[in-house]
Amino acid sequence: MHRSGGMRAIPVLAFALGILLTSTPAVSAASVPPAPAPSNASEGTLALTSPAVAPGGSGTLTLNLSNPFSQEISTLTWSLDLYFWTAMDNSSAGAIGSSDGWAPHLAVGGNAPSARISASAASLSPGTTRSVDVEVSVPSGCPAGSYFLRSAMNVTLSNGTMYVFQSRGFFSNSLWQEATVASGNRSTLNLTMLNVSGISPETSIIVSSGGVALWVWGILGMALVLGGIGGYLWMRSDRQEASTSGARSLRRRK
């Protein structure tokens, strides 16, 4: 497939908004509550772009994997998972399964295109960043709209400490509500209840056959994403001490 002319990637660093579903993550959460990560780790470890692609075309989604920790990252396993879409005119929406050939597909490292991909990164020294390009291919009959991608990461530091990150799309609405709303309707973020070290970002693939509509849709998508960032950071700033009580570091078994 050819790269669509005039299509540019719209950078985002946030999780998608909309109807969210529960399913088994491509990168598994820990069987016991993992250690809560430092406050800058969720946003600092993974950054994503949001490509805009026409039906029948292709584009590139870039992952920037960084090490915000003081220790070297010895192992970092990440995954991206197309899980939900909504039409540009809001006429339809729904879940995306791994066998839905009409939806966008992802490929990395020469692997076969799929709605779900995962890979591992080599060790990362503190303060370094590595970029990974993910090819996005869109079938010619793919409906115009926004296709949401959730992310997950398992990070192991050189001292054996492990962190687990998952994005908003891995949690049901009821679980997310329970973990983020405290008594008195106060905001919180109970990582122990979610069984993660932190919340990783989400992004979306914008599919449109019209140049003007593409930019309008992209601007609207950015507005929603930035609103999501604000809400998430607000919840983080008001997080209670009790939200992570009982969490323990996972150590690599010798």
For residue 222, pLDDT beyond 60: no
Structural domains for the chain = 10-251 (2.60.40.10)
Percentage of the chain modeled with pLDDT above 90: 57
Q: What is the pLDDT of residue 81?
A: 94
CA distance 248 to 246: 6
Q: What is the pLDDT of residue 198?
A: 93
| Average pLDDT estimate for 167-194 | 93
SS3 180: helix
CA distance 227 to 221: 10
Look at 184 and 246; give whichever has higher pLDDT: 184
Question: Which candidate, 77, 78, 75, places its Cα nearest to that of 159?
Answer: 75
Residue 109: CB atoms within 10 A of its CB come to 10
Cβ-contact 88, 81 below 8 angstroms: no
Q: What is the pLDDT of residue 31?
A: 56
- Express each pLDDT in 105-159 by its tens digit: 999 988 889 999 999 988 999 999 999 999 999 999 999 999 999 999 999 999 9
CA distance 175 to 180: 9
Residue 175: CB atoms within 10 A of its CB come to 16
Annotate 17-51 with b (16+ C-beta within 10 A) or e (fewer): beebbeeebbbebbeebbbbbeeebbbbbbbbbbb
- Express each pLDDT in 20-67 by its tens digit: 333 334 455 545 678 889 877 877 899 999 999 999 999 999 999 999
* CA 17, 23, 27, 33 torsion-angle sign: positive
pTM value > 0.85: no
Q: What is the pLDDT of residue 221?
A: 53
Q: What is the pLDDT of residue 29?
A: 53
Residue 174: CB atoms within 10 A of its CB come to 9
